Chains A and B, each alone.
Chain A
Amino acid sequence: MNDLLGLYSYWIVIVLMMAGFYVVISSSNLIKKIAGLNIFQTSVFILYISMGKVDGGTAPIVVEGSSNAIYSNPLPHVLILTAIVVGVATTALALALVVRIKEAYGTVDEEAISESDNEL
């Protein structure tokens, strides 16, 4: 039973990741796909942050006057800070591409786009 509780956060992460993955591969609307990609991405962030947590730990900011405080691992936090900002940059790029696709094809629906490609 204790085994299962210790792995609970990983399982939630996997369910979220698969939900995002499903949106990406099954939805034909490009904006919805990007939203699914964001869900996928955030689930990876949660995976990293949950690995850095230490039982009984506190945020990795030095507590004045106590030399034996337990801190959670700061390294995953740093990696994910970088990843969040890069993720927004790539999302912005994807959305700019969607805007251009809308101008070129007049739709953001993937199947309509491939239909008009086949007509050419």
Chain B
Amino acid sequence: MHVACVLVDHFPFRLEAARNPKLVKSRVIIYQHVGSRREVVDTSPSLTGVLPGTPLHEAQANCKDAILVEADSVRYKRVHEHILSRLGEWSPVVEPAQLGCAYVGLDGLETTYGTEERLIDALLRSIPRVLEPRLGISNGKFPAYAAALKATPGRAFKPPVPVKEFLSTFSVDYLPVPREIPIRLHSFGLHTIGDLAALPLGPLQAQFGPVGAKMWRLAQGIDDTPLAPLKPREEVTESLQFAIPTPVQGQILIAVESLLKRLLGRPDMRGRYARVCTLAGNIQDKPTWTRRIHFRPPLGDPRRGYFVIRSVLEGVTLPGPLEDISLTLGELTGESGKQGSLLADVRQRELIREAVAQLKVAQGHNPIYQVREVEPWSRIPERRAVLMPYEP
């Protein structure tokens, strides 16, 4: 399996620096609100020792001169998805990893693009140069990631085969395992991947279970984890820019009405209905404002959509004047009609199916479970049955 890892390290910082060039040479901490706490999301590369997830007050205590920037998570995610989409133009297999990182399957593409160099060049050009992307190429995801770490910005690196020796100097902190595992490895005196590779499989597996076996294989340079390609999400988006940034709800609602008519009037939306709509708007010097609204039943009529959105926005206070507004319709579905049935069973099934689909969209997963017998004969009560997501 031939895999490329595309990596933009310090992705949030690089996006903020692209928006505000004054940050490039400064010490910067990017933070977000998590409940009542504020914690670090990313820092400038010059600021070492401050890890994501650190409480902000702790980070500030160590770097009093750092500039604080509130994270614009919506924008980071949007740019990351745009990069994935660009990479998808070159390879049918793109697996997203964390922000600023993705794996691209390269098998069979040389015949399409001629040489590997042309393909590498195309992948690097998919990402804005200001983000300083790096590319690593190897026979597995983890070796490709390690190769990307070694690459210089704007270039690709392919380590020699076998990769075991190349990986041996990397710290165990880079292993794709739960965070507490490297801490335990360090306490055992195992600091590098080479230290792990020198051990036999048995003791590692006995100590760490399946994770130990996984770490041993990675340390030997074996990573046959298949790529899980991104599932395309069907969405349609329209946006418009305000002549003057506005906080006035009336103007925003006029814009929403116009966007809804445009979206639902598109030829590709004929006979299509949307279960969810996302409103987003840029606010100067503040993170992107966003609001997600669910429709039940799915939306096909712009007048009903306007009414629902208006009633949601009535209770909302915007954090600042909107410079622009975009409306995205997602979770598109086919015609949603209420076909009456003479059979009560069929009617009930259809109602349940619709309710489950709506809940999946609202909650991001199916919250309805059913009991399924597994070992009804077991003497251990909790082994007899399990809860499984209910699929109508």
Do these two chains really belong together in a complex? no
A interface vs B, CB < 8 Å? Answer: none
